A and B are shown apart, each in its own frame.
Chain A
Amino acid sequence: MPHISLSNLTISYGNQKVLQNITVDIPNNEITTIIGPSGCGKTTLLKSLNRLVDLYEEIHVQGEVRIDGANIYDPKADVLALRKKVGFLSQKPYPLPMSIRDNITFGPRIHEMNGKNLLCQIQKLEKHIPIDSLCPNGRQKETKLGKNPEMAYLVEYYLRLAGLWDEVRERLDAPATQLSIGQQQRLALARALAVEPEVVLADEPTSALDPISAQLIEKQFKILKNYYTIVVVTHILRQARRIADYVIFFYLGELVEHGPAEQVFSAPRDPRTRAYISGEIS
Chain B
Amino acid sequence: MKKRKAEETVFKLLMIASITLILCILAGVLTVIVIKGASSLTLAMLIQTPEGGYYLGKGGGIANAIIGSFYLAFGASLLSLLFGLPVAFALQKEYLSPRLAHLTRLSLDILWGIPSIVYGAFGFIIMVYLGLRASLLGGIIALALLMLPITIRSIEEVIRMTPPELKEISYALGTTRIETTLSVVLRQAIPGIMTGVLLAFGRGIGDAASILFTAGYTDYIPRSLFDPVASLPLAIFFQVATPIPEVQQRAYASAFVLLVIVFLVSLISRLLSRRFSRHMVR
On A, residues with C-beta under 8 Å from B are 50, 52, 55, 57, 80-84, 87-88, 90, 92, 94-99, 106-107, 110-111, 175-177, 188, 191-192, 195
Contact = CB atoms under 8 A, between A and B. Distances in A.
Given A52-B168, A55-B168, A110-B179, A95 B173 contact: no
Interface string B178-191: 01000110011000
Specify the main secondary structure of chain B where it touches its partner: helix
A175 to B, nearest CB: 5
Contacts of A55: 94, 167-168, 171
Contact of B174 (A83, A92, A94, A98): A83
Interface of B: 93-94, 163, 165-176, 179, 183-184, 187-188, 278-282
Which 3 A-B pairs give the minimum distances between C-beta atoms? A88-B172, A84-B174, A83-B174
A110 B181 CA distance: 13
Given A98-B187, A175-B279, A177-B280, A110 B163 contact: no
Contacts of B179: 110
Contacts of A90: 165, 168-169, 172
A204 to B, nearest CB: 13
Contacts of A191: 173
Contact of A192 (B165, B173, B281): B173
B171 to A, nearest CB: 7
A87 B174 CA distance: 9
A95 B280 CA distance: 9
Contact of A88 (B167, B169, B280): B169
A192 to B, nearest CB: 7
Contacts of A50: 172
B173 A107 contact: yes
Given A90-B165, A94-B163, A99-B279, A106 B187 contact: no
A110 B175 CA distance: 7
A57 B282 CA distance: 25
B281 A95 contact: yes
A50 B175 CA distance: 13
Given A96-B183, A97-B281, A175-B278, 14 more contacts: A52-B172, A55-B167, A55-B168, A80-B176, A81-B174, A84-B173, A90-B168, A94-B281, A96-B170, A97-B187, A97-B279, A110-B179, A176-B279, A195-B173
A140 B183 CA distance: 33
B279 A94 contact: no
A110 B173 contact: yes
Nearest to B281: A97
A110 B170 CA distance: 10
A57 to B, nearest CB: 8
Nearest to A111: B174
A99 B183 CA distance: 13
Contacts of B280: 97, 177
Contacts of A88: 169, 172
Interface centre among A80, A96, A176 (most CB of B within 10 A): A96
A55 B171 CA distance: 9
B141 to A, nearest CB: 34
Contact of B172 (A87, A95, A177): A87
Nearest to A184: B281
Nearest to B166: A94
B173 A94 contact: no
Contact of A80 (B94, B167, B169, B174): B174
28 contacts: A52-B168, A52-B172, A55-B94, A55-B168, A80-B175, A81-B174, A83-B174, A84-B174, A90-B172, A92-B165, A94-B165, A94-B281, A95-B281, A96-B170, A96-B184, A97-B281, A98-B187, A98-B279, A106-B183, A110-B174, A110-B175, A110-B179, A110-B183, A111-B174, A175-B279, A177-B280, A177-B282, A195-B174
B169 A96 contact: yes
A89 to B, nearest CB: 9
Nearest to B280: A97
Contacts of A95: 281
Contacts of B165: 90, 92, 94
Contact of A94 (B94, B169, B278): B169
Contacts of A87: 172
A147 B166 CA distance: 30
A253 B169 CA distance: 25
Contacts of B174: 80-84, 107, 110-111, 195
